[in-house]
Amino acid sequence: MIKFDALDLRILDLLQEDAYATHKEIASKLNMTTTPIFERIKRLERDGIIRKYTAVLDRQKLGLKLAAFCDVQLKVHSTPFLEKFELEIQSIEEVQEVYHIAGMYDYLLKVVVKDMESYQAFVSKKLAALDNIGRVQSSFVMKEISHTTRFKLD
């Protein structure tokens, strides 16, 4: 496990708040010069702690009105079939998140689409087209209460 000190955690917290913040802005907030901030951020990137920088978009304003959580049960559970499913599901653009889970189902997918018609097309033309799909159960988001990509750092 990679060790962090308080300064690393503070830098990560500031970047989670605003990934667009410059090294100079972060250094100013931490009462430091830019060089040590730059070096720490580069180390955090190199160590894979910071995987990438991205913009968080408003799906509603983009016309993506329907979000669903889709439980998927596979027919066969051997490693080659699991790996094949995991590889294939990542190439479907409507699928935002994929989790291999324990319990009645094997995978939980977060799917975002324009509307119910688009979701039906996703299930019937894309998901059902994958080999080894046994059972699918969908839950639709009626209201998004909270959504964050931020981790609590101690």
Q: Look up the CATH number of the domain holding residue 95.
A: 3.30.70.920
**82 lies in the same domain as 21:** no
**26 lies in the same domain as 78:** no
Instruction: Judge whether 54 lies within some domain.
Output: no
State percent of the chain over pLDDT 70.
100
What's the domain range around 28? 6-46
Q: What is the pLDDT of residues 32-86, one digit of tens each?
A: 999 999 999 999 999 999 999 999 999 999 999 999 999 999 999 999 999 999 9
Count the domains in the chain: 2
**76 lies in the same domain as 127:** yes
Cα–Cα nearest to 123, from 89, 97, 154, 149: 89
Report the alpha-carbon distance of residue 89 to residue 112 in Å, rounded. 14
**38 lies in the same domain as 76:** no
**26 lies in the same domain as 80:** no
Instruction: Judge whether 41 lies within some domain.
Output: yes
Angle at CA of residue 142, ends 141 and 144, nearest 5°: 70
- For residue 23, the domain's CATH number is 1.10.10.10
**128 lies in the same domain as 95:** yes
Instruction: Judge whether 147 lies within some domain.
Output: no
Residue 104, exposed/middle/buried by CB under 10 A (0-12, 13-18, 19+)? exposed
Q: What is the pLDDT of residue 1?
A: 74
Instruction: Judge whether 149 lies within some domain.
Output: no
